[in-house]
Amino acid sequence: MGNAVAMPPEAETPALSFPQRLIDVFISPREAFEDVARRPGFWAPLITLVISAIAVTETMLWKIGAERLMRMSLEQGGQASRMTPEQLDQAVSSGAKFTAIAMHVGAVLGAPIFLLIIAGLGILIVNVIFGAQVKFGTVFSLVSYANLVSLLSSVISLAMMLFGDPEHFNTQNPIPTNPGFFLNANEVSKPLYALASSIDIFPIWIMILLGMSLSEGTGRKVKSSSIFLVFLGLWAVWVLIKIVRAMF
């Protein structure tokens, strides 16, 4: 009998670096998510998203100012129309400090809290609805990487603040990625404005990536289109709630 030749074990594909994963999320997302599913890790994307939020917040406070932001919030919410000029000035002055503190806290905690909520929904979708068995750490890692495309939104917001007119900066709808940006909130009905502002490129893009990423997390046992449709349904319910609230 001839001697059996032992074949060397197949070398494991080396993990992509964070910059490689970041680039692939934009140009080759399936490859990025496949790598994240094999070797989960959320610290790098999470820290990047927090830094991005801090950069936008600090630029907003520096370029526009807490008092101006408070005044715009009252004007856009309709409260300013029910106040006298003296009452409005007093409300702006007393609320500016709280606004600045809330923005600082939100910049640090906003991204982690949002990602935890989306990851919780992801676990519910893939494990409960579709019967997969994916660990929370893997889902949180995939969700964190899927949301990295929002960095582009932050870059656009920074450009709008730095090179645009601060007096016309809309904190509730800052970038031209939805039809609502091009509407005057004071000239159209609030439900229509809520709908137009919700149909935005970035939420839809992120939902598509969430479908792709969580599909990779299940080893493609669950189709990305199925996961996307569930997220789309939840998003549609959220938009409907916004429209109903705008009626009152």
Domain residue ranges in the chain: 18-22+29-246
Residue 118: pLDDT band (50, 70, 90) is very high
As a whole-number percent, the residues of the chain with pLDDT over 90 amount to 71
Tens digits of residue pLDDT in 211-226: 999 999 999 999 999 9
- The pTM for the full model equals 0.90
Q: Which of 23, 46, 47 has its CA nearest to residue 35?
A: 23
**pLDDT exceeds 70 at position 78:** no
Across the range 142-151, mean pLDDT stands at: 98
How far apart (Å, rounded) are the C-alpha atoms in residues 223 and 213? 10
Tens digits of residue pLDDT in 220-247: 999 999 999 999 999 999 999 999 998 9
Residue 73: pLDDT band (50, 70, 90) is confident
Report residue 245 as tokens: 């609230």
Q: Average the pLDDT over each of 23-32, 47-56, 99-108, 113-122 and give the range with the smallest value.
A: 99-108
More confidently predicted of 139 and 14: 139
